[in-house]
Amino acid sequence: MVKLTADMKEAFSKMKVFSIATASKDGIPNVVPLAMVELVNDDTIWITDNFMNKTMSNLRTNPKIAIYIWGPEIKGCFQIKGVTSIKTSGKEYDDMKANVNRKRPELPARSLVIVKITEVFECKPGPTAGAKLL
């Protein structure tokens, strides 16, 4: 797994809504905007599943994910790729659910998607577009 740099972590912290991409086992893409996305340490992201039907179906058959980091308050942009695991019980799930219940008790917090970061790519236009950063 790779660890995000200080600049990448700062950019991540400024994001309000994240574009999350998955694909079915047959390669059919799906992109959704999600707000309950948290960087829990340098190489791990937690995503709360409240209503992610197609995304969760994709992740159950193809655990790969991409997260796009860009916004007007962020210098540049980058794409995080990772491999996911899904938790519906255990300490990590309980911690996520308690956090969601404190902030938004009306949300179901059905499961926790844990993303282990595997690669990071440049996505700003120019000669380094698509270059592997980490």
> Residue 1 above 80 pLDDT?
no
% of the chain residues with pLDDT over 90? 93
SS3 breakdown of the chain: % helix, strand, coil, rounded to 5?
25, 40, 40
Topology, domain 6-122: Pnp Oxidase; Chain A (2.30.110)
pLDDT by residue (tens digit) across 12-52? 999 999 999 999 999 999 999 999 999 999 999 999 999 99
pLDDT of residue 5: 95
pLDDT of residue 29: 97
Average pLDDT along the chain? 95
User: Distance of CA 131 to CAs 24, 68, 78, 122, Å?
Assistant: 25, 14, 10, 5
pLDDT confidence bin for 72, thresholds 50/70/90: confident
Nearest to 33 by CA among 21, 44, 24: 21
How do the domains of the chain map onto residue ranges?
Answer: 6-122
